[in-house]
């Protein structure tokens, strides 16, 4: 796991909280290794239940850790007081779980941008999130609010929008990017249309060109088993995977002229500009 040439020096990224693992998948009294921003990390749970993480090359200096949204988070710099909040997870009847943590040979921002994209639904998630000839991406709104990116009024026809869906529907999505490498979407729950299911992708940038994608789910569904909920999300993510692994360059180019955007890519346009404004340099190709 030598990734020393990929070690992050970008303070913007070093100072963020980064997800490492689903807490439900951590064994007690056990140490695991992973990569984060080119650094080898050891993490685990002490005998007394305390979570910890350290850089393998600096084993005496404990890294800050937080247990949030079902994941263990750490930071290699000076992080903010807390990870972004997801108020919905406090609702008692909600089921929050990790659908899977899957490694992908791509950069973190490519994975985020793909998550924000609706135009690929009929082609990549055929018969699930889209189907030809329903290919049109209607105009939607994108704003930066309180240092987060929000895309609203996103409508798309979906043949099978969720594990619990029966038949096609016109789905309304709201996307939220509260962190350069984390994204969520809210869509009306098939079992209770007045409330939203929350689906997240929390990306652990192992290096600039490899990630571990933690698939977060928080849904209102009393009937489907965990296996069934996970299954749906794993299918969807695994359909995206070959796309992400066939994209060149792997790192996200921030110059809007390098890859031709269209109106449907509005959220990606704003996302790339936002990363530029943040001065983010890790896993991207900065605008020239």
Residues of this chain that bind other proteins (CB under 8 A): 22, 25, 98, 100-105, 118-120, 122-124, 126, 132-137, 142-144, 212, 226-228, 230-231, 234-239, 241-243, 245-249, 253, 255-266, 269-270, 273
Pick between residue 62 and residue 262 the one whose CB is nearest to other proteins: 262
CB of 73 to other proteins, least distance (A): 18
CB of 228 to other proteins, least distance (A): 6
Task: Assess contact for 245 and 111: CB atoms under 8 A.
Answer: no
CB of 81 to other proteins, least distance (A): 28
What Å distances lie between residue 207 and 7, 11, 52, 113, 118, CA to CA? 7, 15, 21, 17, 27
CB of 77 to other proteins, least distance (A): 26
Token pair recorded at residue 186: 């809210």
Pick between residue 195 and residue 231 the one whose CB is nearest to other proteins: 231
Pick between residue 60 and residue 248 the one whose CB is nearest to other proteins: 248
Pick between residue 171 and residue 196 the one whose CB is nearest to other proteins: 171
Pick between residue 236 and residue 281 the one whose CB is nearest to other proteins: 236
CB of 8 to other proteins, least distance (A): 21
Provide long-range contacts, Cβ within 8 A and 24+ apart, for 234-243. Answer: 234/99, 234/100, 234/102, 235/128, 236/125, 236/128, 236/129, 237/99, 237/100, 237/102, 237/201, 237/213, 238/102, 239/124, 239/125, 239/128, 240/114, 240/124, 240/125, 241/102, 241/104, 243/114, 243/120, 243/124
């Amino acid at each position: 796991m030598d990734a020393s040439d990929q070690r992050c020096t970008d303070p913007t990224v070093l100072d963020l909280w980064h997800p490492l693992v689903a807490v439900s998948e951590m064994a007690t009294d056990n140490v695991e290794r992973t990569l984060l921003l080119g650094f080898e990390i050891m993490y685990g749970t002490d005998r007394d239940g305390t979570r910890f993480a350290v850089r393998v090359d600096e084993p005496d200096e404990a890294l800050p850790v937080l247990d949030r949204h079902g994941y263990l988070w750490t930071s290699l710099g000076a992080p903010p007081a807390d990870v972004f909040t997801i108020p919905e997870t406090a609702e008692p009847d909600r089921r929050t779980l990790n659908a899977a943590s899957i490694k992908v040979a791509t950069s973190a921002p490519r994975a985020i941008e793909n998550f924000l994209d609706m135009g690929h639904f009929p082609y990549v998630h055929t018969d699930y999130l889209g189907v030809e000839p329903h290919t049109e991406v209607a105009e939607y709104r994108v704003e930066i609010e309180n240092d987060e990116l929000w895309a609203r009024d996103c409508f798309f026809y979906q043949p099978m929008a969720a594990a619990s869906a029966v038949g096609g529907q016109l789905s309304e999505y709201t996307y939220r990017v509260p962190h350069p490498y984390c994204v969520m979407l809210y869509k009306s729950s098939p079992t209770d249309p007045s409330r939203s299911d929350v689906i997240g992708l929390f990306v652990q940038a192992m290096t600039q060109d490899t990630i571990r994608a933690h698939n977060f789910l928080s849904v209102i569904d009393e009937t489907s088993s965990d296996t069934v909920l996970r299954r749906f999300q794993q299918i969807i993510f695994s359909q995206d995977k070959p796309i992400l692994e066939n994209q060149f360059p792997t790192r996200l180019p921030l110059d809007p002229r390098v890859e031709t955007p269209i109106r449907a890519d509005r959220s990606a346009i704003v996302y790339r500009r936002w990363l530029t404004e943040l001065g983010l340099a890790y896993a991207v190709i900065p605008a020239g």
